[in-house]
Chains A and B, each alone.
Chain A
């Protein structure tokens, strides 16, 4: 057993699959709630979190988790105060990314491989990383599984949830927390710039084949895992960057799904 995890490709594959499993159901909620830009803002804040982690000698996981949560709270606080939500998200997403890049440059003594955090460094995943990734993934899956129906009701309509004795604000907070965990877990695997892609693309591709929300989440998980493994395989043999390769495979799934959808709708 020890021998198995000694292989960097095995560790990378496990990291990719763990991230894809956690991202799939959450990605569905992000698609249904039209929160893609929210996901972007939270993911970009993770770069700031990396700087935070180095500055205060925290683990990268804790630093990114804190930054992602802080971003999510700022978005909620600023929404509905005169600016359009897309404007606020645009300001915060890019502001956080830029601030993160600047902050990282201030950190002395430690040489930070910035590219690793922007695009992921899945081939360098260690055993400790695997524990964090799978721990985070299992936590996210547990929360989403436990609250599935309530989250779905709150997604449909907050008042419908209130009438059924569910507080939709609580479900929103749980979703935000789960998103922050996925971001903190995924930054090592796929990088801050492409995390949203791993959330949204498998879910969007799965939509074509699904008749119920549950099926969409399961199919998205399948597409996500296949993309992770396919992307790794491609990166290994074609010597391409792993994170972007994974996203390219996912995007190919989406293109195929869209073509199938088009063909189905075409008049015969």
Chain B
């Protein structure tokens, strides 16, 4: 099957800064791909370019004609002045049937929340509702931007389990950005390590042992503990392994 989204030699300048340089990217149907990388490495920019929210400065993005994206944003601030029940939220941007709404809430594990106000939900409930809404468009590509931010560890583990279930049940490809490397690594088919460019790319165990990845995240427990002491700039000691464009 052909790829859902392909980016070729993608460069994005945004707000006067070059966020991405010469990025090649692709995702196939049913694949779970995770993007990891330090803060400011262009992870969210790549997602937004794929969504069409930021234009490519150079290079191009090709989307499959049948592409249907379900998007779960990093955080969604709902102003307290906006009254919005969970059920009504699911109707955005298109009205959905009550049966479908109930099924999506059930699938996301938050069936009891339909009549609650969005602003009164806990962090975990909120993320599940966002996921339910994203599922309603019957996406073949589900994009999640650090969807477990603000969840505790059992909460985020359960959330990733849920996402894997969604993939298994619906066959949707999953593209996510995450900081929680140890969990993500286990659940992904492929990991892309990003730092303005693609540092390395491949199966989780391959990426975890790649020098570029270690330069960014260190070596401890597949990088999970190194999260808070990574360097923002790094040199490529292994340019003979792959060619990085810096």
Binding site for B on A (CB under 8 A): 31-34, 149-150, 152-153, 155-164, 166, 203-204, 207, 210-213, 215-216
B76 touches A156 (CB 8 A): yes
Query: 21 A-B contacts, Cβ less than 8 Å apart?
Result: A31-B81, A32-B79, A32-B82, A149-B94, A156-B92, A157-B73, A157-B77, A159-B51, A159-B53, A159-B73, A160-B71, A162-B52, A163-B51, A163-B69, A163-B70, A164-B71, A203-B81, A210-B83, A211-B83, A215-B83, A216-B83
Most chain B Cβ neighbours within 10 Å, of A161, A163, A212:
A163
Which residues in B have some Cβ–Cβ distance to A below 8 Å? Answer: 48, 51-53, 69-71, 73, 76-79, 81-85, 88, 91-95, 117, 137, 143
* Contact among A163, A166, A213 for B143, CB-based, below 8 A: A163
**C-alpha gap A162/B48 in the complex (Å):** 9
Majority secondary structure of chain A interface residues (helix, strand, loop or mixed)? helix
A18 to chain B, nearest CB (A): 25
CA A32 to CA B82, docked complex, whole Å: 6
Given A160-B71, A164-B137, is A207 in contact with B83 using a C-beta cutoff of 8 Å? Answer: yes
Of all chain B residues, the one with the shortest Cβ separation from A216 is: B83
B78 and chain A: residue at smallest CB distance: A156
Q: Tell me what chain B mostly uses at the interface: helix, strand, loop, or mixed.
A: loop
Contact between A152 and B92, CB atoms less than 8 A apart: yes
Residues of A within 8 Å of B83, CB to CB, are 207, 210-213, 215-216
B contact residues around A162 at 8 Å (CB) = 48, 51-53, 71
Expressed in whole angstroms, the minimum distance between the Cβ of B101 and any Cβ of chain A is: 14
Closest Cβ neighbor of A163 among chain B residues: B71
Q: Select from chain B the residue with minimum beta-carbon distance to A211.
A: B83
- A149, A150, A160: the one within 8 Å of B73 (CB): A160
- Whether the Cβ atoms of B93 and A166 lie closer than 8 Å is yes
| Residues from chain A with Cβ under 8 Å of B81 in the complex | 31-32, 203-204, 207
Contacts A158-B53, A163-B71; A213 near B84 (Cβ below 8 A): yes
Instruction: Collect the chain A residues with CB atoms within 8 Å of residue B53's CB.
Output: 158-159, 162
Q: Output the least CB separation between A256 and chain B (Å).
A: 18
